[in-house]
Amino acid sequence: MNDTHHSKPIAVLWERVVAGDTSAAFLEAQGIEVRLGRPNLDPAYRTHRAQDFIEDLQGAHGVLISGGIRVSADVIHALPDLRVISKIGIGVDTVDIDAATAADIAVCNTPHGNDTVYVAEHAMTLLLALMKQLHVWTRPYMTGGGWRSPATFASSLDERTVGIVGFGRIGREFARRLSGWNVRILVHDPYADDVPAGVERVSLEELLASSDAISLHCPPLPDGSPLLDASALARLRKGALLVNTARAALVDRQALLAALDAGQIAGAAIDVFDPEPPASNDPLLTHPKILSTPHVASWTHEAFFGRRRQAAENLAHVLLGRTGASVVNANRLKMHDRKA
């Protein structure tokens, strides 16, 4: 192991630090040595290579990351000094939790704040934008001489059926925003113990067959396979709409494009991609029936800086042996609260 007698715990801020971000100053005030990762040292850095990550973290006890880097078992095995991985955001599917736990590394996330509200609002906005054809009636469309015509009509949520896949915090917030719109709300989530009045819990098959629009709010499947593959998309009600603010891996991209071309799906709104950012000629950006946003469902000033501060606090709590960190694998660790 490296730096075993270092006087201070060392934390690497892998993600790019921007003006107004107090995470580095906060950690230094706690007596933690802060090092900046490669994305901060090279303004053009975008590829998030595992080997670069490993090199930057040699001797480090903690790291702050977002979703740009995948912390695999191989990465974890190459970092024997690491004690905590602090993830910005709720999802930790980019980290091999089992490998981290086996190495006695705490994996933290930032579940607090209003991220669930922001994502639910964005999903609702995307759904309404699809129904109102805002991906068609754009500024370039109008400046190019386009105007309303019988070739394109908007639709309405009134008396429609909306299916929600995943009924955790975000799915519930999304359902709450649908209440009052005179819609039937269907939910599929095998782990949801209770659903509020006005929400029907159904199988995935029934949800696909019955919904005029579907919004995804669940984690990816453990094996990485798409939840909505060609077979599942074929079971959708013809002309349905799809909104994905969750994870790109949930939908088979080729099957989605084929379903859009065939008219099985009338439109899709996507906020998540793999890789990110996508290439400028990616069909998910250029297809006329797709409304795309650049992974901004929770991209608010409050959320951006709040998540980073929470992630820094998680790092400090674990590295300094304090309680209060949001540790997703806490009940499986031996000594996740020990000092570095």
Give catalytic residues, as residue numbers: 247, 276, 295
Omega of the bond prior to 275 within 30 degrees of 0, cis?
yes
Q: Are 186 and 237 in contact (CB under 8 A)?
A: no
Distance CA 187, CA 111 (A): 22
Can you spell out the DSSP letters for 34-90?
EEE-HHHH-TT--S--HHHHHHHTTT-SEEEE-SSS-B-HHHHHT-TT--EEEESSS
Beta strands in 225-277 (DSSP E): 240-244, 265-270
Distance CA 71, CA 34 (A): 20
Omega of the bond prior to 294 within 30 degrees of 0, cis?
no
Beta-sheet pairing, 199-201 with 184-188:
parallel
